[in-house]
Structure 1
Amino acid sequence: MKFGFDIDDTLIDLRAHAFLLYNRKLGKKVSFETFQAIQRVEIHEPFGLTDEEGSAMWNSALEEIYFTDCPSFDGALKTLQTLAEQGHDIYYITSRPKQYCAQTKAWMEAQGFPITDGHFFCGMQDAEKVAIIKELALDIYVDDKPAVLETLHDVTTKVILKNQSYNQHVNLPRLYDWQEFQTMLTK
C-alpha cells in the first residue's frame, strides 16, 4: 500500500513543542491545559501576543522549533517503521518552507523515520499538497489540516484526520492515538 503523511502536528508534536519554547522564551508559565484549548493553529494568543507579534515570534524561532528536540507523537515513529518493514511505500508531504526541506528530511532521518529517495515532498501550499496526493494515488493519507483533507473528497484515497484542538469541527475518520492506526486500516 501507499501511505502519505503530513509531518507537523501529524507525526511530530510541533505546536506543543513550540508552546513550551514560547513559555521559556517569554518567561511565562501558561498551562498546557490552556494550550489544549486553543481553537486555531496559531499558539500566540495565550501569551498576550497580537497576530503580528505571534507571526514574528514564530518566524524568529523557526529553526529552534523545527530542529531541536521536538518529540514525535507516541507510537508514530514505530508505526511508520513497521509499515516500512512490511514493505509499504511511505510518502511525506509537508508544507514546511522550501528553505528548510533538506534540513527537515535530514532531521526526520536522524529521528529514525524511514525515508526513501523520491518519497519526500516539502515546501508546498495546500493546493500543491492535494495535487501530489492525487498524483501519487495514495491509498491512505494522514494530516491534521482540514483544508487539505476536505478537498480530497473526490479521490479513492482514504483520508484520516490527526486529532487536534483546532480541527474538532471536521467530520472525518479521526486518529487520536498512533497505537490505534493499524486498527483503523481494517475499518
Structure 2
Amino acid sequence: MKFGFDIDDTLIDLRAYAFALYNKKLGKNITIDAFQALQRVEIHELFGLTDTEGSAMWNSSLEEIYFMDCPIFEQALETLQTLNQQGHDIYYITSRPKQYCAQSQQWMRAQGFPIKEGHFFCGMQDAEKVAIIKNLALDVYVDDKPAVLETLQDIETKVILKNQSYNEHVTLPRLHHWHEFDNIIKV
C-alpha cells in the first residue's frame, strides 16, 4: 500500500513545541489549557501579537522550531517504521518551505523516520499538496489540516485527520493517538 503523511502537527508536535518556545522567548507563562483551546493553527494571539508580529516571530524562529528538539507524537515513528518493514511505500508531503526541504529530510532521518529517495515533497500550498496526493494515488493520507483532507473527498484515498484543537469541527476519520492507526485503516 501507499501511505502519505503530513509532518508538522501530524507526525511531530510542532505547534506545542513552538508554544513552549514562545513562552520562553517572550518571558510569558501562558497555560497549556489556553493553547489547547485555540481554534486556529496560528499561536501568536495567545501572546498578544498581531498577525504581522506573529508571522515575523514564526519566520524568525523556523530553524529553531523545525530542527531542535521538537517531539514526535507517541507511536508515530514506530507506526511508520512498521509500515516500512511491512514493505509499504511511505511518502511525506509537507508545506514546509522549500529552502528547508533537505534539512527537514536530514532531521527526519536522524529521528529514525524511513525516507526513500523521491518520497519527500516540500514547499507546497494546499492545492499543490492535493495534486501530489492524487498523482501518487495514495491508499491512505494523514494530515491535520481540514482544507487539504476535505478536498480529497472525491478520490479513492482514505483520508485521516490527525486530531488538533483547530480541526475538531470537521467530521472525518480522526486519529487522536497513533496507537489507533492500525484500527482506523482497517475500517
TM range (shorter): over 0.9
Q: How far 1:37 moved relative to its partner?
A: 0.4
Write the deviation string for residues 124-183 of structure 1: whole angstroms up to 9, x where unpaired: 111110000000000000000011000001100000000000001111000000001011
| 1:146 alignment partner in structure 2 | 146
Distance, in Å, in 2 between the alignment partners of 1:101 and 1:61 is: 16
How many corresponding residue pairs? Answer: 187
**Equivalent runs, 1:92-171 vs 2, <5 Å:** 92-171=92-171
Name the TM-score, length of structure 2 as normaliser: 0.99
Give the share of equivalent positions with the same residue, in percent: 78
| 2:89 alignment partner in structure 1 | 89
Secondary structure class of the residue paired with 2:103: helix
| 1:68 alignment partner in structure 2 | 68
Secondary structure class of the residue paired with 2:159: strand
Consecutive unaligned residues of structure 1, counting only runs of 5 or more, are none
Secondary structure class of the residue paired with 2:80: helix
Comparing 45-54 and 1-10, the one that deviates more: 45-54
| 1:40 alignment partner in structure 2 | 40
Amino acid of the residue matched to residue 53 of structure 2? E
Amino acid of the residue matched to residue 45 of structure 1? E
Write the deviation string for residues 25-77 of structure 1: whole angstroms up to 9, x where unpaired: 00111111111000000001111111111111001101000000001100100
Question: Hey, which bits of structure 1, 4+ residues long, moved more than 6 A?
Answer: none
Amino acid of the residue matched to residue 163 of structure 2? N
Q: CA RMSD in A?
A: 0.5
Distance, in Å, in 1 between the alignment partners of 2:148 and 2:81 is: 25
Distance, in Å, in 2 between the alignment partners of 1:182 and 1:76 is: 11
Amino acid of the residue matched to residue 72 of structure 1? I
